[in-house]
Amino acid sequence: MKKILLVTAIIMTILTGCHTIHGVGQDVKAGGEHLSNAAH
């Protein structure tokens, strides 16, 4: 039972990290688009 909980916690941590990195990537992309639009 403890092994299942540990594995589940590890998987949830990895998945949460992926979503966080993805969100940061979107923020950087949006910032770059705003700068590009301002330059035109």
CA distance 23 to 25: 5
pLDDT at 34: 76
DSSP structural state of residue 11 = H
Residue with tokens 């540990």: 6
The number of C-alpha atoms within 13 Å of 18 and in the hemisphere containing its C-beta is: 6
- Residues lower than pLDDT 50 in the chain: none
pLDDT at 1: 81
pLDDT at 10: 83
pLDDT at 23: 75
pLDDT at 2: 85
